[in-house]
Copies of this chain bind each other. A is one copy, B any other.
């Protein structure tokens, strides 16, 4: 209410503010687009689990910026812990992604130096360089690793993994 001449009255016209979401509408139209969701499935393989994991890491980096332009100029080390194979793969990829998000470090070669299936620890080295807008192509941002439909298969002399990541 508003006080007019000492008497509290209701304001004649009450224009309620637009709900927040409507303020993003497109031009004169009465519609808008809400956040889209998207994901892509990475599939990587190798002659053993370590190589499949390494290749999965490279798949991730290559999606963010084509690795053909990334030079092997410095080495970073990664360490990840889990409690089984799936959580170890998740933590490993998450660690690579974290290093990119905080340091912009793109690895064009990844080597797992320790894959411990009792302590569930991975230690790895990545060789590459920091993202440089002038030389590197911008690919698609990877927002998060997911456990969705994650699959890890190991056979004699062969291993492969499937990981869905949010983009």
Contact = CB atoms under 8 A, between A and B. Distances in A.
Nearest to A37: B39
A43 B25 CA distance: 9
Nearest to A59: B31
Give how many copies assemble into the complex: 2
A49 to B, nearest CB: 13
Nearest to A30: B55
Interface residues of A, number: 34
Residue from A43, A46, A162 whose CB has the most chain B CB atoms within 10 Å = A43
A58 B33 contact: no
A62 interface: yes
Contact of A33 (B31, B36, B41): B41
A120 B46 CA distance: 56
B37 A43 contact: no
Contact of A55 (B31, B33, B56): B31
Contact of A36 (B41, B62, B162): B41
Interface in A40-61: 40-46, 51-52, 55-56, 58-59
B62 A26 contact: yes
Nearest to A161: B31
Contacts of A32: 43-44, 59
A120 to B, nearest CB: 23
